[in-house]
A and B are shown apart, each in its own frame.
Chain A
Amino acid sequence: MCGTCGCGDDDHITYHKPNEENQEHSHLHHHGPVAHTHFHRHDDYQLSLHQHQGHSHDHSHDHEHTHDHPHDHTHDHTHLTTTQTVQIQRNILSKNELEAARNRGYFDALKVVALNLVSSPGSGKTSILERTITEKGRELNCFVIEGDQQTMNDAQRIEKAGAPVIQINTGNGCHLDAIMIGKALRQLNMSTNSTLFIENVGNLVCPALFDLGESKRVVIISVTEGEDKPAKYPNMFETSHLCLINKVDLLPYLDFDMEKFLNIAKTVNPMLQFIPISAKTGEGFDQWYAWISQQGVE
């Protein structure tokens, strides 16, 4: 079963470079970077086989006989087993966190500033990246990982803008996780002192839970959305460092109450920084670039 959406299909997470779409397609499906759950499941299965080999046939006997206990064999089997409580006190996201730590180590070693861009669908993530790459692609040495459920559209837009990009299609999956990023990084061949933009799947709920190993998390809201987004999706605003308020060119036509928005967002996260921008006109982008450059200095 697929770990991300439970759809029963293990093989639907794909990793593509735009120009290699067809060649890599079948290749990738058969080899490595396919749904991790499958592998884990497989391991588990092997583990249980191991158990059976190690302890020979006794196990299956035990199991089948439990129902018969009242009738016969009672002693034999009760003597064989003991119960025990294992106190593990383990964070359920620990696997993702381990992978995130590996990614973080990779970023540190290459002096990469990695930004995880999260937002509702359509708030302008790809448009912001297009302008950023066009205007600062050289200087910032931009690389991009695109996360979408389906299609190569965003990767094609990024490639046209001029940055190396890997498209991860998560199928029905609603977020990127650190394991997917690790696999994409192996194909991306990043250089030192570069900037990685990860465009997460458009969704303000699930991506909040999954640390990708990013240096900073950037939440994007457009002024066509409601001012109360931070109240509705507090986890996302609480875990972000910067909030880009996009599409401010539309402010004259809307009744988006900026002050109200800022107040709600600050209540959820008093440390959050804000930059109002327009991917259409370029307003605010100097501040955005300055903020990115600052991240490399830290």
Chain B
Amino acid sequence: MHELSIAIQIAEIITEEAAKAEALTVTKVILEIGSLSGIEADAIELAVPEAFRNTICENAAVEYHYIKARAVCESCCNEFDPIDHYKICPFCNSLYTSFLKGKELNIKSFDIVKP
């Protein structure tokens, strides 16, 4: 259910920023969503049009850039693709690894029409 509150945050941030840029309308929005961000693709794609209704983003085309997780081992310094949140290093079995990518939950950019 949190996808809708996330979607409403997206609409609020863009509405504020678009007003600062004196936009007439927003034509495109690019979102970056990591596979470990806690956001479900289906749910967010359903929620965003709902949240954009009656806002300056209403007619915007939305691009969802899904980002695969990537982790690095702090023991042996190798990089690897973790399976979900299981980030055991496949090279040395260390548990001390950290995510390089996959936690993204960003508005990358949006296109506006200006006077």
- Write the residues of chain A forming the contact surface with B, with a CB cutoff of 8 angstroms: 1, 3-6, 37, 40, 44, 47-48, 50-51, 55, 58-59, 62-63, 80-96, 172-175, 177, 205-206, 208-210, 231, 234-235, 238, 266-268, 270
Of the candidates A48, A51, A89, A96, the one whose C-beta lies within 8 Å of that of B109 is A89
Question: Using a CB-CB cutoff of 8 Å, which residues 85-113 of chain B contact chain A?
Answer: 85-86, 88, 95-96, 105-113
Contact partners of B10 in chain A: CB under 8 A: 92
Known A-B contacts: A238-B85, A267-B95. Give 15 more (CB < 8 A). Answer: A1-B8, A6-B47, A44-B16, A50-B19, A58-B115, A82-B113, A83-B113, A85-B109, A88-B13, A90-B106, A177-B5, A208-B38, A235-B38, A268-B85, A268-B86
* Minimum-distance CB pairs A-B, first 8: A234-B85, A270-B95, A206-B2, A6-B4, A3-B8, A174-B1, A47-B19, A44-B15
The chain A residue with its CB closest to the CB of B111 is A85
B contact set with A: CB distance below 8 Å: 1-2, 4-6, 8-10, 12-13, 15-19, 21-22, 24-25, 27, 31, 36, 38, 47, 50, 55-56, 84-86, 88, 95-96, 105-115
Across the interface, A205 reaches (CB within 8 A) one of B2, B18, B55, namely: B2
A210–B18 Cα distance when bound, in Å, is: 25
Q: Is the CB of A59 within 8 A of B24?
A: yes
Contacts of A3 in B (CB 8 A): 4-5, 8-9
**A92 contacts B105, C-beta separation under 8 Å:** yes
- Inter-chain contacts of B13 with A (CB < 8 A): 88, 90, 92, 94-95
- In the complex, the answer to whether B9 meets A95 with C-beta atoms within 8 Å is yes
9 pairs, A vs B, C-beta closer than 8 Å: A3-B4, A5-B4, A6-B4, A40-B12, A86-B109, A92-B107, A94-B13, A96-B9, A234-B85
B95 touches A84 (CB 8 A): no
- Chain B residues with CB under 8 Å of A177's CB are 5
Quick one: closest A residue to B105, CB to CB? A92
CB of B39 to closest CB in A, whole Å: 8
Cβ of B24 and Cβ of A81 under 8 Å apart? yes
Minimum distance in angstroms from A73 CB to a CB of chain B: 15
Prevailing SS type, chain B contact patch: mixed
Give CA–CA (A6, B6) in the complex, Å: 11
- Shortest C-beta distance, B110 to chain A (Å), equals 5
* Nearest CB of chain B from residue A49's CB, rounded to whole Å: 11
| Residue of chain B at shortest CB distance from A59 | B24
Closest residue on chain B to residue A90 by CB atoms:
B107
Min distance, Cβ B34 to any Cβ of chain A, angstroms: 11
User: If the complex has contacts A85-B109, A93-B9, are A51 and B22 also in contact, measured as CB distance less than 8 A?
Assistant: yes
| Complex CA–CA separation, A96 to B84 (angstroms) | 25
> A81-B24, A84-B112, A86-B112 are known contacts. Are A44 and B106 too (CB-CB below 8 A)?
no
Q: Contact check, A87 vs B109: say whether CB atoms are below 8 A apart.
A: yes
